[in-house]
Structure 1
Amino acid sequence: MSQANVISDQAGLSDYHFFVRKLHSALGLFPIGIFLLEHLITNSLAALSPALYDKAIGHLMNLPYLGLIEILIIALPLTIHAIYGLYIVYVAKNNIGRYAYVRNWMFYLQRISALITFAFVLVHVWQLRVAHALYGLEISYVTVQQLLAQPFWLTFYIISLLAATFHFSNGLWNFSVSWGIVIGEQSQQFLWKLCMLFFIITSILGLSSIWAFIQ
């Protein structure tokens, strides 16, 4: 193979990874991020009223073409995002011991939160969605309440919630920077602070929902 062909192949591979990185970043915002926010808002209804939560879940479960929506708008984008995310985790070199600055820690925590969130999604889908389909389990306030009454699952859900909200919030910063939406060091630092504030707000929203289920 000639040197020109080697360079051409390397350029093609570089273009491929550039496209996949952009797709991975975009899918993290839409539809996955939107789905996370919808989940948090719906679950927060439990803090207002168990009946209101059950009503909202009933509407969601009776959406037209629900199976198609779950596959094309949720499962497929989530699978693509997760597979490339796991690849990044595998190839990433975490050197926080040598370079313990904030962005390096954020990069490291983004990888850790990705693994926790991935495990949580698999468990959560199995516990509620698959069990609902296979065994006729009704998804309701009582169902979630009984699940979270178990200390292990309560701890698992709290840790997973914090991992998911951090991963999304920090991912917003990564998306804005990598897509060239926010440029300049000061602007990026300001945005990062906003994203961390967003992490705190969404975490409080999620934790208040969990608290409502364990009352």
Structure 2
Amino acid sequence: MAELTRSQSFFIRHEFGIRRLHSLLGVVPLGLYMCVHLVTNASLLGGTAPFQRAVYMIHSLGPALPIVEWGGIFLPLLFHAIIGVWIIRTGKSNTSRYPYTANKRYTWQRWTGLIAFVFLMFHILHLQGWFHFSPWLAVMRPLGFAQFYPYNAASSLASAMDEWVWGFWPAFYLIGVMATVYHLANGLWTAGITWGLWTSPAAMQRATKVCTVFGVLLAMVALAAWWAAVSPGPADIANAREKEQEMYDAAVATGLAYDDPHKRAGDDHAVPPSEDGIEAIIVEETIIVAPDSQ
């Protein structure tokens, strides 16, 4: 028998704890965040204002926002994905020999996990750009990535969905979101098995019904969020931009938003003008001095 590599040996020695941590992170914080994220995006169906207010509340964290993003979303996502790939590589599917529903769900869980990870990586790149420092964004934005501006949330999101031809982004997001919804809903069921919450056949059947209802409801919310992002036309985007300008002025005045031009869409907001492009206008003034009356 070939000798185990050091990494394989580590995973095998700590498999019990790693699998439970992998399962837990898939539910909290990743699953919880996904639900909040989809509900927030679906609020765009109610107009620009509720969606923009929600984005303002998120970005009111200021300098703490990157810490929350990396600590509560990106690092747990990377861990969950890496361990998920390891589970796929070490696990064996017996669907061909035992074509039962549970076995098919196990196979779908693995495939939707891979699709969801690819989707989320491109989703973050497409809208956020992965990293926020200026030299990186200066390269990504001309390529059609990092297209989301928090202070123009509705208009920049809708514009980003129409960035590539042949409806690529809408189709990509629809497939990715549905795969992610299934992965979460079925993952709740498998998490219950991992943590020993339901072990009897009757308990598993009840859990299946609950997770199915949850998955259907979340899929409806996801479809609403997807449609709210892909359906606006040019006139809708222009109207949203006007509303966002009004809300931005009010948010800065009340302290809800920071005066950060890099979070606003458009060259007139996102990029400060250079001195070379400024034209000086000289206005001659004639000053008339009235003589003192003695």
TM-score (norm 2): 0.65
Q: Give the Å deviation of 1:131.
A: 6.9
2: CA distance, partners of 1:195 / 1:32: 16
Residue 169 of structure 1 aligns to a residue whose secondary structure is: helix
Q: Which residue of 1 aligns with 2:142?
A: none
For CA contacts below 8 A with separation 6 or more, give which structure has more relative contact order: 1
1:14–1:63 CA distance, 2 compared to 1 (3 A) = same
Residue 130 of structure 1 aligns to a residue whose secondary structure is: coil
Q: Which residue of 2 aligns with 1:19?
A: 17
Q: Does 1:109 align with 2:122?
A: no
One-letter amino acid of the counterpart of residue 37, structure 1 = C
Select which of 118, 142, 152 maps to 2:155.
142
Written as runs of structure 1 = structure 2, the 5 A alignment for 1:84-123 is: 84-123=83-122
Written as runs of structure 1 = structure 2, the 5 A alignment for 1:114-133 is: 114-130=113-129, 133=132
Aligned pair count?
Answer: 206
One-letter amino acid of the counterpart of residue 129, structure 1 = Q
Please, which runs of 5 or more residues in structure 1 have no aligned partner?
1-9
Q: Give the Å deviation of 1:58.
A: 2.2
Q: Which residue of 2 aligns with 1:170?
A: 186
The 8 Å contact of residues 45 and 224 in structure 2, kept in 1 or not, is answered as yes
1: CA distance, partners of 2:102 / 2:130: 40
2: CA distance, partners of 1:19 / 1:83: 15
Residue 129 of structure 2 aligns to a residue whose secondary structure is: helix
Residue 86 of structure 1 aligns to a residue whose secondary structure is: helix
Q: Which residue of 1 aligns with 2:44?
A: 46
The 8 Å contact of residues 81 and 117 in structure 2, kept in 1 or not, is answered as yes
Of structures 1 and 2, the larger Rg is shown by 2
Q: Give the Å deviation of 1:189.
A: 1.2
The 8 Å contact of residues 127 and 160 in structure 2, kept in 1 or not, is answered as no
- Aligned-pair identity in percent equals 31
CA deviation profile, 1:95-139 (whole Å, cap 9, x unmatched): 322211011011000001101110011101111112783258514
2: CA distance, partners of 1:193 / 1:80: 29
2: CA distance, partners of 1:71 / 1:212: 27
